[in-house]
């Protein structure tokens, strides 16, 4: 196996990821077997190769996406694993390392041949894997000859790389200079950045209007673009439709005639899947059976008085593709009964790709009866009772089986009424539009007959001709030639079913020989498949053919099939003039068909047109620039009896100039007459009056639009350049989907695309169409194959069409939705793509290269400086943004605790005055009281701890003590024990027993940074610290002394410590910020008491109150509420450890209800747990008597922008349990001040405003109405606490800001922290965080900078004192905000958009790296969905934020790290990503 693989690789060896294929031909499989043939190489393929060769000089490196092993397509290469292989991830990294070492040196000029390199490497390897490695080196050597130099290979023997799996070689992506880009993320991103730095197309002239509506760049037309210069075209006429005397007056008359005068003549021969004749239908049989069907339709359905079907009614024809005889019988039966047949596809399942739309068509046509064959009827899906279910979107239909044995014989005297062709509808052909909707094109009897006559004249059909038909006989060319015209001329049709073509693609050619057929009707793909399957069969002779009708001959890729087919089969008697491409459309029927030429006449025309010209709608014959050309073949001239003109595709149907591309329009009897039931669309399509430049109609008769784009060339030849449906207008230039398909199909290796199945469509993103290419890849292609093919396709399309592909997706073979005949169902594919349900196996997005209409990056305006006049509180006409809570000095209250400076004194006072008053109650997960503390119990236990600290610890006052306790009573006791002993406590979250390795180092770090001289904890945790597992993470000997407080000494300390000065340290508060910084702040005794007083006043806390607290008690407001407030205010705190909610999610709310609590505090993670865990249980909770109607305030303690979606869903969910919707609010605190805002008991409800997200990016606040585009809801972060003053300042200039600006929130308050506590002495850096002054205005006040951006807004509401209420809105952390394109983005906004885009995205985090936006999404679903998310994420960020995503990373649930407060740790995530620690499912690097 390896040998074949290496030889195959060495064949491919000369092609790098970006190089051009060498000397490729369109159908290698065919031509390689005919060395004798001079290959007339296809023009398009040459162009593609030349284009790729050009790119090769440009050197372009595309970082390859990285995939998890389970997602990599299992290939033959994967399946072979050398002996002793580990497929673990460590392995693959070392392998890459080995390859990286093996091929290093960028352009060393020393050359070695690959054979010596490989032999030297083989000798260094051991055993069985040595050979494999040697060959791998061979393969790599082949792959490295990209640049002009050969590279020197060094081989190192490294142990870890012992014979590794082969995927690693696939994972490697070689850059332009031949250095493999290692799979490390940082290297790939660097490579992506370098690639993106290269100059793109010239930037467009920017166009901006500043009414704050950021307009996207409007593309200015290029003055040098080609313009049409020809004269106005003239209407072309076809030859006269010659009336031949024995032509029948109608098709029914023809059938009657042949059925009676030559009943034995064969009409139709059908084949089985082995290619054997299954059945011969004679004209006699067709006639008698059609009469029978007609009689039964009219007389045997319904009752005599109320027949179900009357002449003129529509009936559906549902026949499979392998039964043309039954179809013909039913079709002619309908014609004889004067009923209108609507042929449709067999609905295979209840939700077939287009079947719902077909159902709508049947409904609008009023169809109540469906004709079908016996076999088909048996195959339809049945319900358990044996009835055929109603298909989705279908009307109720009666199924009518047309087999003779099921029908009654007509009476002797009954004959169908045979009339001459008239204006009645003959049949309705369905047509699928670009958007997937289905229309019915009605064809009148006279049009049907005239069309048959025109075809007969063009194709010179005569009686008894034999036709081989491969096309669908239910519609289009197949129906016209093989069902209608054949009967008119008594011809014999050999019908080849699609199933037989699948088994034997040569079957149609064999039947042509066998029956000496004169005519064959095929599509390009039938020629293509025949070529692929052809093995130089001896017995093939095509000399009988005088006409090979190519039904899709107007398609741009058809010419290459025709050329290649002729090239191979010319030796088998095929004459060049036999190939007759034709152009048709459902509306205009046959638009043109090339006639078989008489011997010796001039060969047909070819147009070699410039793609650049075509994209501007102009015809330019291209001579020198061979790269971007489109070669077209003519499709003959105007049909007999018709007229044709070309009109502008948009707007008024004005005639085009001779060198302009437009829509072909025809005027003849032989076209469709309407879209059934759609008068407006009919008028625009079937009743068009083209006008000349002067506005005069060119004819009194209406023309029909064909839906084809093209022009009329010299000698009246018609050229079709594309379809209106396939038109994509990108940046003002027109591109045709089919042309792009043709280019992609010409890229080597052509066989890469499974059966040539490629879909091209456009989607609208950011006000322009973007091109999407979806291809099915062969089952055996490797990751590297697909990536190489993708990068080549991008380059080919870029060079030839000068347009960027927005997204290129590869799907496994046979997975795209199919049309009934096996083509790709385009609209359905597009729908799946947009819904994220396509499940591609490879995706390459190129938004950087094709999105050229982003708004102009913002240039910062100089801010208002001190020079601008400050008048009172105005900054240049705007009120200065400042506000304050109530003034503490003016509040008269009987606050007994105020007379004490220290909390330790307050506790002693309470222990004397109200010894048995319960301060704390701790609940367990069952909701019962685990323990409680009265004032005196707390005081006594604290004394014992103080004694223990003095005795065992020998601590001096001022020493720092780390308290490592689970949330509970012990923590509180230990805290006050430290205060009694004069030590400074630091509360630390204990390590998680299930996750010691990651949580213990954080504990150790806080203990070290806080300079703790001892650790106090429980017996359980001190055992945990000594455990083996813990010692591997942190050696126990490195800890300071650890004391467990489970058994306290009996005696009291000699005397309680009283600090000399209230400005000394009370405690240290350590917390990890969202950016991953560990910061400890110093809280003095003064600040601590002021803090408690402020909260007491805001929440009106008294000894009689009960407050439920479900928070982590380790830092910030959570710690203060858990440990300090009850002692200061005397109220009872009901403590609920959040971890207990994981066992019992209803614990917190049950406690609130049971204790009739009015005020409760929680965190976002608790609220989320309740919303997710109790969402479906509200009824059962209600029945258990849970009642939340007494809750006045439910405050979420947070240090971030309020999560409005979560709080709203929480309020909605628990409204039924009595929760008042206005009770839920949030608080806001940060490191410099642990609580700035907190919704209290009195005062107005929290307000919500909607701001313009685009203005916010420019640091401006513009209020908009709810629901307006780009609106962002922001909720006020609670009321400003008493004694707190706030101002909004410019973070750069430190000047005060006006109300309509976003700026940094600065705070001045008695409970500000007094500074950071750091070991490294870098306080100077952050000193201004705690004592900043404004640069102008009030320059005296000392402020602390919160590091958060926000704005203030004066509301219409009044507070308790009657003043207008100022609301503070927090937008986000300054250090998390991302500066992109000169604008400020907040990660949460982008994340919210991304999470909304697909149901499988559960969480998202964004960050930037080297100015690239990286989006990480957590996937809740199968790994197969991972790649669906890449385009959706890219689209939504472009649409809503005008940003291009650089990297999309799809990971498993739970990978995005979240801290105890439920905040995302984006910087941790970033570090993990860059260090390759995330084990992502998929990483896509957008180009």
**Which phi and psi (to 5°) does residue 882 adopt?**
-145, 150
Cα→Cα distances 13→9, 146, 1332, Å: 5, 10, 65
Q: Is 1381 exposed, middle or buried (0-12, 13-18, 19+ CB in 10 A)?
A: middle
Looking up tokens 């009707």, which residue turns up?
521
Q: How far is CA 102 from the centre of its chain?
A: 38
Neighbour count for residue 356 (Cβ, 10 Å): 17
Residues 6+ apart with CB under 8 A from 1137: 922, 966, 967, 968, 1110
Tell me if 156 sits within 8 A of 121, measured CB to CB. no
Tell me if 688 sits within 8 A of 665, measured CB to CB. yes
Residues of the chain under the 70 pLDDT cut? 1-44, 55-62, 72-183, 186, 195-222, 245, 349-353, 598-603, 622-627, 821, 860-878, 889-897, 1074-1076, 1318-1327, 1359-1362
Neighbour count for residue 113 (Cβ, 10 Å): 10
**CA 745, 746, 747, 750 torsion-angle sign:** positive
Tell me if 1145 sits within 8 A of 1210, measured CB to CB. no
Neighbour count for residue 621 (Cβ, 10 Å): 12
Query: CA-CA distance, 793 to 350, in Å (whole number)?
Result: 37
Tell me if 330 sits within 8 A of 293, measured CB to CB. yes
| Structure tokens that stand for 176 in this block | 């332009």
Q: β-strand 1364-1373 against 1344-1358: which pairing, if any?
A: antiparallel
| Structure tokens that stand for 516 in this block | 């000496």
- Give 1431's Cβ-side CA count (13 Å radius): 33
Helices assigned H by DSSP within 669-771: 679-686, 737-745
Residue 1359 has what pLDDT?
67
Query: CA-CA distance, 306 to 292, in Å (whole number)?
Result: 20
DSSP string, 822-837: SSB-HHHHHHHHHHT-
| Structure tokens that stand for 639 in this block | 């049909």
3-state secondary structure of 1201: coil
Cα→Cα distances 116→134, 140, 149, 876, 882, Å: 10, 13, 17, 78, 77
**Which phi and psi (to 5°) does residue 95 adopt?**
-65, -45
Residue 353 has what pLDDT?
59
> Among candidates 1407, 1349, 1411, which has minimal Cα distance to 1382?
1411
| Structure tokens that stand for 758 in this block | 């490629």
**CA 65, 69, 71, 74 torsion-angle sign:** positive
CA angle, 1329 then 1334 then 1340, to 5°: 100
**CA 310, 312, 318, 322 torsion-angle sign:** positive
**Which phi and psi (to 5°) does residue 340 adopt?**
-95, 110
| Structure tokens that stand for 249 in this block | 């007056």
**CA 1391, 1396, 1400, 1402 torsion-angle sign:** positive
Residue 135 has what pLDDT?
38
> Among candidates 1266, 1270, 1269, which has minimal Cα distance to 1247?
1266
> Among candidates 409, 449, 410, which has minimal Cα distance to 426?
449
Q: Is 505 exposed, middle or buried (0-12, 13-18, 19+ CB in 10 A)?
A: buried
Give, as one character, the DSSP assignment of residue 1343: B
**Which phi and psi (to 5°) does residue 447 adopt?**
-65, -40
Residue 1348 has what pLDDT?
93
Q: Is 1048 exposed, middle or buried (0-12, 13-18, 19+ CB in 10 A)?
A: middle
Query: CA-CA distance, 988 to 965, in Å (whole number)?
Result: 7
Buried b (16+ CB within 10 A) or exposed e, 1147-1180: bbbbbbbebebbbbbbbbbbbebbbeebeeeeee
Q: β-strand 1078-1084 against 1106-1110: which pairing, if any?
A: unpaired
Strand boundaries in 551-628, DSSP class E: 579-585, 589-593, 606-610
Give, as one character, the DSSP assignment of residue 1108: E
Query: CA-CA distance, 501 to 521, in Å (whole number)?
Result: 14
- Give 283's Cβ-side CA count (13 Å radius): 25
**Which phi and psi (to 5°) does residue 726 adopt?**
-95, 10
CA angle, 1418 then 1424 then 1425, to 5°: 50
Q: How far is CA 1195 from the centre of its chain?
A: 37
440, β-bridge pairs: 430
Query: CA-CA distance, 324 to 310, in Å (whole number)?
Result: 25
Query: CA-CA distance, 220 to 215, in Å (whole number)?
Result: 14
631, β-bridge pairs: 608
| Share in percent of the chain as helix, strand, coil (round to 5) | 35, 25, 40
Cα→Cα distances 1177→1187, 1217, 1224, 1257, Å: 14, 11, 20, 41
Residues 6+ apart with CB under 8 A from 781: 73, 75, 752, 789
What's the pTM value of the predicted model, to 2 decimals? Answer: 0.79
Integer Rg of the chain from CA: 40
Give, as one character, the DSSP assignment of residue 123: H
């Amino acid at each position: 196996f390896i040998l074949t693989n290496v030889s195959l690789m060495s064949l491919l060896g000369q092609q790098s990821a970006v190089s051009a294929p060498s000397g490729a031909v369109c159908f290698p499989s065919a031509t390689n077997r005919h060395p004798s043939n001079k290959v007339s190489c296809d023009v398009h393929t040459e162009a593609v190769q030349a284009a790729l060769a050009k790119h090769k000089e440009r050197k372009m490196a595309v970082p390859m996406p990285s995939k998890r092993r389970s997602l990599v397509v299992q290939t033959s290469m994967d399946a072979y694993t050398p002996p002793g292989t580990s497929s673990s991830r460590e392995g693959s990294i070392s392998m890459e390392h080995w390859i990286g070492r093996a091929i290093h040196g960028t352009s060393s000029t020393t050359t070695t041949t690959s054979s010596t390199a490989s032999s030297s490497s083989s000798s260094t390897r051991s055993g069985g894997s040595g050979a494999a490695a040697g060959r791998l080196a061979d393969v790599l050597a082949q792959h490295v000859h990209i640049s002009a130099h050969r590279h020197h290979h060094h081989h190192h023997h490294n142990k870890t790389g012992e014979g590794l799996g082969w995927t690693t070689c696939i994972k490697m992506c070689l850059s332009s200079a031949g250095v493999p880009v290692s799979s490390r993320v940082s290297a790939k991103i660097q490579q992506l950045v370098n690639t993106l730095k290269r100059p793109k197309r010239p930037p467009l002239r920017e166009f901006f209007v500043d009414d704050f509506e950021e307009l996207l760049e409007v593309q200015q037309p290029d003055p040098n673009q080609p313009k049409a210069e020809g004269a106005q075209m003239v209407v072309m006429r076809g030859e006269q439709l010659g009336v031949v005397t024995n032509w029948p007056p109608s098709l029914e008359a023809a059938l009657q005639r042949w059925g009676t005068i030559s009943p034995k003549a064969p009409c139709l021969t059908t084949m089985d899947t082995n290619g054997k004749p299954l059945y011969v239908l004679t004209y006699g049989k067709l006639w008698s059976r059609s009469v029978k069907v007609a009689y039964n339709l009219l007389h045997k359905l319904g009752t005599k008085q109320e027949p179900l079907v009357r002449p003129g009614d529509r009936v559906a024809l549902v026949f499979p593709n392998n039964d043309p005889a039954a179809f013909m019988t039913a079709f002619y039966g309908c014609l004889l009964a004067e009923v209108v047949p609507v042929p449709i596809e067999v609905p295979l399942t209840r939700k077939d790709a287009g079947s719902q739309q077909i159902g709508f068509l049947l409904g609008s046509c009023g169809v109540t009866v469906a004709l079908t064959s016996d076999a088909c009827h048996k195959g339809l899906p049945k319900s358990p009772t044996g009835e055929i279910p109603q298909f989705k979107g279908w009307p109720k239909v009666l199924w009518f089986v047309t087999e003779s044995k099921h029908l009654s014989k007509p009476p002797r005297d009954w004959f169908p009424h045979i009339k001459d062709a008239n204006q009645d509808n003959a049949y309705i052909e369905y047509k699928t539009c670009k958007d997937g909707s289905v229309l019915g094109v009605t064809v009148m009897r006279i049009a049907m007959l005239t069309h048959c006559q025109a075809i007969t004249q063009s194709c010179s059909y005569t009686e008894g001709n034999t036709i081989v038909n491969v096309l669908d006989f239910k519609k289009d060319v197949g129906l016209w030639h093989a069902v209608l015209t054949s009967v008119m001329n008594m011809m014999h049709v050999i019908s080849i079913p699609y199933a037989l073509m699948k088994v034997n693609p040569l079957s149609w050619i064999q039947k042509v020989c066998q029956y000496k057929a004169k005519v064959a009707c095929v599509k390009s793909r039938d020629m293509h498949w025949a070529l692929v399957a052809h093995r130089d069969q001896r017995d093939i002779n095509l000399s009988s053919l005088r006409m090979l009708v190519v039904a899709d001959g107007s398609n741009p890729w058809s010419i290459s099939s025709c050329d290649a087919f002729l090239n191979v089969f010319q030796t088998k008697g095929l004459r060049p003039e036999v190939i007759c491409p034709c152009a048709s459309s459902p509306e205009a029927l046959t638009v043109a068909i090339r006639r078989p030429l008489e011997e010796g006449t001039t060969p047909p025309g070819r147009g070699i047109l410039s793609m650049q010209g075509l994209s501007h709608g102009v015809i330019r014959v291209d001579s020198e620039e061979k790269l971007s050309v489109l070669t077209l073949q003519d499709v003959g001239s105007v049909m007999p009896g018709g007229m044709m003109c070309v009109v502008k595709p948009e707007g008024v149907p004005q005639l085009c100039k001779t060198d302009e591309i437009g829509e072909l329009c025809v005027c003849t009897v032989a076209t469709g007459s309407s879209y059934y039931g759609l008068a407006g669309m009919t008028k625009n399509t079937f009743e068009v009056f083209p006008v000349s430049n002067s506005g005069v109609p060119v004819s009194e008769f209406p023309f029909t639009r064909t839906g084809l784009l093209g022009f009329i060339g010299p000698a009246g030849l018609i050229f079709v350049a594309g379809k209106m449906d396939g038109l994509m207008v990108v940046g003002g230039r027109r591109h045709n989907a089919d042309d792009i398909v043709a280019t992609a199909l010409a890229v080597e290796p052509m066989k890469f695309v499974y059966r040539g199945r490629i879909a091209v469509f456009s989607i609208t993103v950011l006000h322009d169409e973007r091109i999407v290419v979806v291809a099915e890849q062969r089952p055996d292609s490797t990751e590297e194959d697909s990536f190489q093919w993708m990068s080549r396709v991008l380059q080919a399309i870029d060079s030839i069409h000068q347009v960027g592909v927005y997204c290129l997706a590869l799907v496994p073979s046979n997975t795209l939705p199919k049309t009934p005949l096996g083509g790709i169902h385009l609209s359905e594919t597009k729908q799946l793509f947009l819904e994220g349900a396509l499940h591609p196996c490879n995706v390459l997005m190129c938004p950087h290269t094709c999105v050229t209409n982003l708004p102009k990056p913002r240039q910062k305006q100089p801010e208002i400086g001190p020079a601008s006049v400050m008048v009172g509180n105005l900054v240049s006409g705007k009120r200065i943004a400042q506000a304050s809570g109530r003034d503490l000095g003016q509040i008269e209250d009987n606050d007994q605790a105020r007379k004490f400076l220290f909390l330790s004194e307050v506790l002693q006072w309470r222990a004397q005055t109200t010894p048995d008053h319960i301060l704390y109650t701790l609940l367990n997960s069952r909701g019962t009281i685990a323990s409680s503390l009265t004032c005196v119990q707390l005081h006594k236990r604290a004394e014992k701890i103080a004694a223990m600290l003095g005795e065992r610890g020998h601590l001096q006052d001022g020493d720092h003590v780390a308290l490592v306790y689970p949330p509970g009573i012990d923590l509180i006791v230990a805290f006050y024990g430290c205060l009694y002993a004069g030590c400074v406590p630091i509360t630390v979250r204990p390590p998680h027993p299930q996750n010691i390795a990651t949580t213990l180092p954080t504990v150790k770090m806080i203990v070290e940074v806080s300079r703790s001289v001892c650790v106090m904890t429980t017996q359980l945790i001190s055992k945990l610290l000594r455990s083996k597992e813990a010692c591997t993470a942190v050696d126990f000997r490195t800890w300071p002394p650890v004391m467990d407080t489970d058994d306290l000494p009996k005696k009291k300390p000699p005397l309680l410590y009283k600090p000399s000065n209230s400005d000394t340290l009370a405690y240290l508060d350590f917390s990890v910020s969202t950016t991953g910084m560990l910061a400890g702040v110093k809280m003095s005794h003064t600040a601590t008491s002021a803090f408690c007083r402020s909260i007491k006043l805001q929440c009106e806390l008294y000894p009689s109150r009960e407050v439920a607290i479900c928070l982590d008690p380790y830092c910030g407001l959570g710690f203060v509420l858990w440990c300090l407030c009850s002692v200061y205010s005397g109220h009872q705190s009901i403590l609920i450890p959040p971890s207990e909610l994981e066992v019992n999610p209803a614990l917190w709310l049950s406690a609130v209800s049971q204790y009739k609590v009015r005020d409760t505090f929680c965190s976002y993670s608790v609220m989320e747990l309740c919303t997710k865990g109790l969402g479906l249980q509200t009824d059962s909770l209600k029945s258990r008597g849970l009642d939340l109607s007494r809750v006045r305030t439910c405050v979420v303690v947070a240090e971030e922008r309020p999560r409005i979606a979560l709080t709203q869903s929480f309020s909605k969910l628990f409204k039924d349990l009595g929760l008042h919707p206005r009770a839920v609010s949030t608080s806001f605190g940060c490191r410099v001040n642990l609580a700035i805002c907190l919704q209290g008991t009195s005062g107005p409800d929290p307000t919500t405003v909607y701001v313009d997200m685009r203005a916010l990016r420019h640091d401006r606040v513009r209020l908009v109405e709810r629901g307006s585009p780009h609106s962002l809801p922001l909720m006020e972060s609670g009321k400003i606490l008493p004694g707190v003053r706030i101002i909004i300042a410019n973070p750069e200039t430190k000047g005060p800001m006006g109300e309509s600006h976003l700026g940094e929130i600065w705070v001045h308050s008695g409970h500000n922290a007094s500074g950071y506590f750091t070991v490294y002495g870098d306080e100077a850096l952050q000193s201004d965080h705690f004592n900043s002054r404004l640069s102008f205005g009030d320059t005296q006040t000392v402020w602390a900078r919160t590091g958060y951006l926000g704005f203030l807004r004066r509301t219409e509401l009044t507070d308790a004192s009657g003043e207008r209420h100022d609301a503070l809105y927090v937008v986000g952390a300054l250090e998390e905000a991302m500066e992109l394109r000169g604008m400020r983005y907040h990660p949460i906004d982008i994340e919210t958009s991304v999470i909304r885009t697909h149901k499988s995205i559960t969480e998202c985090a964004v960050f930037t790296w080297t100015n690239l936006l990286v989006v990480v999404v957590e996937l809740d679903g199968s790994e197969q969905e991972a790649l669906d998310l890449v385009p959706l994420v890219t689209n939504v960020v472009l649409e809503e934020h005008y940003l291009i995503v650089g990297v999309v990373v799809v990971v498993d649930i739970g990978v995005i790290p979240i801290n105890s407060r439920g905040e995302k740790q984006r910087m941790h995530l970033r570090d993990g990503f860059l260090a390759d620690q995330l084990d992502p499912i998929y990483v896509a690097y957008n180009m």
